[in-house]
């Protein structure tokens, strides 16, 4: 009886140990339990996909159904395997074109900064925007007003 319980405990510990899973599409590495890695691979034909790429694959499947043809009788939904292959091809082409071989952390931070600036400065999709007209900050007893978040955060 004692050996069976010990075996169950060691098996549970093995499944709860933190391991690294590397996305087969974008190359992102995540810390996960072995049980989670196995469940993700089971859903994705034995391939490890990060959450973002998994959503992109789902989107690829949905878009293929809605945009593959103008007549509804000719539309077909692609299989998950084909959608994964399309997304993997896209990721490989994107990485080959855009990532310098010696990219540094500063370049990554700069890229994220540019994305934030674009999203903060872009017009809102709804007509009623919750954007404030001015952003106020009190510095050294003096109130300063900024016309955008980007100006407040980055001095632009």
d(CA 87, CA 81): 10
| Exposed e or buried b per residue across 106-131, where buried means at least 16 C-beta atoms within 10 angstroms of its C-beta | eeeeeeeeeeebeebeeeeeeeeeee
Average pLDDT of span 92-118: 73
Q: How far, CA to CA in Å, does 72 sit from each of 62, 78, 80?
A: 14, 15, 20
* pLDDT one-digit tens code per residue, 7-38: 454 555 556 788 998 999 888 888 999 999 99
For residue 96, the model assigns a pLDDT of 77
For residue 88, the model assigns a pLDDT of 92
Average pLDDT of span 118-139: 56
What residue ranges do the domains of the chain occupy?
17-99
pTM metric for this prediction: 0.50
Select from 144, 127, 146 the least CA-distant residue to 135. 146
What does the chain come to in residues? Answer: 156
């Amino acid at each position: 009886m004692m050996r069976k319980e010990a075996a169950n405990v060691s098996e549970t510990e093995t499944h709860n140990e933190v391991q690294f899973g590397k996305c087969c599409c974008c190359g992102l590495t995540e810390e996960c339990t072995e049980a989670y890695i196995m469940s993700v691979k089971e859903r994705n034909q034995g391939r490890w996909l990060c959450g973002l790429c998994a959503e992109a694959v789902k989107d690829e499947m949905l878009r293929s159904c809605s945009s593959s043809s103008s007549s509804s009788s000719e539309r077909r939904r692609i299989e998950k395997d084909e959608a994964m292959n399309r997304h993997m091809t896209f990721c490989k082409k994107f990485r080959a074109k855009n990532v310098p071989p010696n990219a540094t952390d500063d370049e990554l931070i700069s890229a994220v900064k540019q994305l934030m600036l674009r999203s903060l400065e872009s017009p809102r999709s709804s007509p009623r925007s919750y954007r404030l007209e001015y952003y106020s900050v009190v510095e050294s007893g003096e109130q300063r007003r900024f016309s955008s978040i980007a100006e407040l955060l980055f001095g632009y």
